[in-house]
Amino acid sequence: MIATTLLLTLVTTLPAEDPPEKAPTPRAKPLTVYRWKSKNDLRFTWATPKGYDGKTPRNLTVICHGTGLDYRWGHWNNKPEVFRPDDIVVSVDGPSPGANSTRLFLGKSQDAKAMHAFLGELRQEFKIDRIFLYGHSQGGFFVVYYAGEYPADVAGVVAHASGHWGWSKTGKPVKKVAISFMHGTMDPVVPYRQSVGSRDQYAKQSFPMLNLRRLSRYNHWPNGVRASEEVAWCDGMTTSQPEQALAAAEWILKPKPADEYQWQTVVGAAGARAVLRRLVDDGHKPFSDVAPAVRKKAKTLIQELEKAGAAHVKALAAAVGKSVGSAKLNGKPWLGHIVALREDFRGVDTVEAFVKAIGYDAARKKHLKATKAIFDAWYSRKKDDGKLVRAVLKTLPKVFLYEGLPPQLGKRMRELEKASNQLKLSKKERAAFKTFENWDKGWRDGLKAYAKIWKKWK
């Protein structure tokens, strides 16, 4: 029901009227949305950046919508002045028909072939440097799939609120594509763990340009600001120009005010750190020739990032102790703080040294494996609230380092705690709710402690 309600909400965010019709031209008013149709009858909207003359190549970013939507969704939810304003931006219909005249991006060869033909047509219409794909929900699954089918077509893809389909190709040619998974941790439609699991699987296959952008306590909605940052990460990881890589890192690290959803979050430290490594001979495809001023600025940003990471480590070290695997659920704020930090600051040396010293990754791996008991009870066809409560209370001490538990778990457990008499829980079982309360408090207070430090970033 939640998924259906949210889907209907997203469908209603389409514009009441179509944009004006105009064939692609360099003489169009910049940052203005127009609509057109491809030779194969795919409808699309397009907008050009300021200064585009049709002669100097510009990057192209193509938006792929989710289920139950169409080509208009992209620019309506990712405004030209917010989402990649220096790129040519196109939002296209899914190649396959959906219900009620909507469109779909399916993980099938005919859809990939249709997109391949469409991108080829855009290269004839516009003067293009590199191509990036940004997909939301079903469109996110598709862009990762497409990178596997036609890796030479794209420099990078951003999969938002999705993950990857199991049949997506991951061979050597695909490793030349920058892949970002971006996901709200409270997504009620496509679980956050989908993107975490996808990142983990691609990491096991040694993908060199891989990022997970964790959107703390965010839902399934689009977000043009963060999507633009992740395309910037793809840009910074694949550009041949050091100045452009620096600009991408600076944009990612720039603190942004509350967006249209009145939401703020920590800067993308992990992604920016990976881009900056290229500028100091340390990382994937480092630049061979970097201007002294660019290198100096990169080193300064790296120092600031490492300093920020150290501030978090200092706040956590005493509370966590020598081994996070031995830590107990005591309701203290280290819990939400350390789990968020490990993901958001992945690749920052001061944080990496800390998590290695306390055995974080090994402990998390064990916690992930232990989550099966909770998921089995949560998704059981035969609803049994008593069984769910017992599974959660028994398992939480073994899984607290895993953030991908059902987003409604906290609310449901609070409801069931009030109904403990009806569930015929024993006195010992009712007392065990303290475990849940400590987990819940550790997360809530931990995120506040985390934010108190990251908000100091200038």
86-107 pLDDT, tens per residue? 999 999 999 999 999 999 999 9
Whether 300 is in a domain gets the answer no
Nearest alpha carbon to residue 337 among 362, 318, 322: 318
The rounded distance, in Å, linking the Cα atoms of 296 and 302 is: 10
What are the tens digits of pLDDT across the range 157-201?
A: 999 999 999 999 999 999 999 999 999 999 999 999 999 999 999
Query: What's the pLDDT score for residue 16?
Result: 65
Query: What's the pLDDT score for residue 63?
Result: 99
Query: What's the pLDDT score for residue 13?
Result: 61
The rounded distance, in Å, linking the Cα atoms of 291 and 75 is: 36
Query: What's the pLDDT score for residue 3?
Result: 42
Whether 351 is in a domain gets the answer no
Whether 149 is in a domain gets the answer yes
Q: By three-state DSSP, how is residue 276 classified?
A: helix
Whether 217 is in a domain gets the answer yes
At residue 311, what is the residue type? Answer: A
Residues of the chain with pLDDT under 50: 1-12
Whether 285 is in a domain gets the answer no
Query: What's the pLDDT score for residue 2?
Result: 37
Domain count, the chain: 1
Whether 346 is in a domain gets the answer no
Whether 394 is in a domain gets the answer no
Q: Can you give the length of the chain in residues?
A: 458
Q: What is the CATH number of the domain that holds 55?
A: 3.40.50.1820
Q: Do residues 267 and 457 make contact, with C-beta atoms less than 8 angstroms apart? A: yes
Give me the helices (H) in 191-291, please: 192-204, 224-238, 242-253, 269-277
Q: Taking the CA atoms of the chain, what radius of gyration do you get in angstroms?
A: 23
133 burial (CB, 10 Å; 0-12 / 13-18 / 19+) is buried
Give 90's strand partners.
46, 62
Q: How far is CA 451 from CA 83, 305, 411, 446, 448, in A?
A: 25, 15, 23, 9, 5
Question: Which structure tokens are listed for 148?
Answer: 């596997």
Question: Which structure tokens are listed for 143?
Answer: 């862009």
Question: Which structure tokens are listed for 305?
Answer: 């990032």
Give 211's strand partners.
180
Q: What are phi and psi of 144, to 5 degrees?
A: -70, -40
Nearest alpha carbon to residue 342 among 214, 159, 451: 214
Range of the domain at 53: 2-238
Whether 388 is in a domain gets the answer no
Query: What's the pLDDT score for residue 398?
Result: 97
